[in-house]
Amino acid sequence: MDAQLETAPSRPDSWVITEGRPVRQDPTEFDPEAEKGVVKEYRISEIGRYLLNPGPIEIRKRLVGCEAHPKPTMLNRALQRVPGWGKTRRRKPDVLLTGLKLKFPAFRDPDLDAHFKKMVDELRGFDPFAKKLARLAPRRLSHLIGICEDIGGGYSYLKLQGSADEKIRYLSSHAGRAVRVTIHRAHVSDGMFELRAYPATGFDAAHTYRLYAYSRDGQPAACVLTSLGNLDYRLPDPQAVKYLSLLEHVLSSSPEFRRCFEACFAGRCRPVRLFFNRQLEVDYSKANLPEIYRDAFRNSATALSGRNLVKPVLNYLQVAVSLSYLLPPDSADQRLFTHICILHDLRALEPLRKSLPAVYAEMSQRAFSSEAGRYYVLDSITGSTHAD
């Protein structure tokens, strides 16, 4: 990455983006199709540049099997054109999964680690998956698609390259192992960011990059410049800047989340994914009040009966910012840890403005203002699941 030789924000150990400020800048200097008008400038860190970058990234997933799609026979092709018959009678693909499910952390002794891997390779011949692959007839296959197991137990497809014979050989030699998978960018879906491609060496907090937000063809646009002032990349979704702004405020408002974040991006843990989720499973109308509200009731003269007024509004306008990570590879603990910071939009508390003014004032004082809105930290949750 080309670094901007400029002053990074205070708190350099865990920053993502600065507040945007209007600047006198002609956006046509870096985007010929930009419209002249208001231009807002941000500074983003190496983490921010990674999260917004539209370029492809490479991660690793465990290859655990394949889907074998047979070629349709002439009779099948004819029957598929029969209304109401072809689709229901179409032959389903065969799903083949390896029995090599065990996953062990790397041994610190390189000789012991190499010996253990050799033992696992020798056991491959006893895996029924290899025998099932050998019985496949390449000339009768239309598609052969790999199946990968993701961290946390999810599954995804892997596009295989080459002829059917080459795909079978690849599956036979790599089943049960971690393989390289290329995905289109770090921002894989709305609010979901893939972090496994971020360098394990951590980041240099002193490096900053300029991000400009402006208008293009009547629509919001944004881009990042290199250290020389040239165009680095345009953002496919300029609204993604709001996620970075929200993350920056979470780091400032939640010490627990910031410590977890710093451990991940300093190389002490392995970050997996960052997710901004608006559909939560926590029902605060039935659960106990979060600590922040218990404090508010203790510190004010508000009657405890007011709790019944608070609970119904807590389930609206929430955003859960979750950071999932693994411990270092040499750790015996292979669980997937997730730290969740639940934010609550201050607009949800409007019904309390008159009925519980002291509680509303307390939450309003705790709230921060971001480009995504005014939020306060409602709750913080930490959990873990097995990585396999």
Listed in sequence order, the DSSP H helices in the chain are 46-52, 74-80, 86-89, 110-123, 128-134, 164-174, 240-253, 255-265, 291-299, 307-310, 352-355, 357-366
Pairing verdict, β 373-386 and 335-345 = antiparallel
How far apart CA 265 and CA 198 sit, in angstroms, is 8
- Residues 30-88 have pLDDT tens digits of 888 899 889 999 999 999 999 999 999 999 999 999 999 988 776 665 556 666 655 55
**Is the CA virtual torsion 71, 77, 79, 82 positive or negative?**
positive
> To the nearest whole number, what is the mean pLDDT of the chain?
84
Domain residue ranges of the chain, discontinuous segments joined by + = 21-55+187-386, 57-183
385 or 25: which leads in pLDDT: 25
Q: State if pTM tops 0.85.
A: no
- Residues 155-200 have pLDDT tens digits of 889 999 999 999 999 998 888 888 999 999 999 998 999 999 998 8
pLDDT for res 7:
40
- Residues 293-332 have pLDDT tens digits of 888 887 766 656 677 888 888 988 999 999 999 988 777 7
How many whole angstroms from its chain centre is CA 140? 38
pLDDT-derived band at 241 (thresholds 50, 70, 90) equals: very high
Number of C-beta neighbours around residue 171 at 10 A: 24
pLDDT for res 297:
80
How far apart CA 276 and CA 195 sit, in angstroms, is 14
CB 314 within 8 A of CB 344: yes
pLDDT for res 289:
83
pLDDT for res 83:
65
How long a stretch of residues is the chain? Answer: 388
Q: Report the DSSP beta bridge partners of residue 382.
A: 339
226's tokens: 């290199």
pLDDT for res 327:
87
pLDDT-derived band at 150 (thresholds 50, 70, 90) equals: confident
**Is the CA virtual torsion 262, 264, 265, 271 positive or negative?**
negative
Query: 3-class SS at 15?
Result: coil
pLDDT for res 154:
81
Average pLDDT value for residue range 274-282: 84
pLDDT-derived band at 271 (thresholds 50, 70, 90) equals: very high
Average pLDDT value for residue range 227-232: 84
155 or 127: which leads in pLDDT: 155
Which of 333, 308, 323 lies closest to 380, judged by CA? 323
**How many Cα neighbours within 13 Å face the side chain of 162?**
11
- Residues 347-372 have pLDDT tens digits of 999 988 888 888 899 899 999 998 88
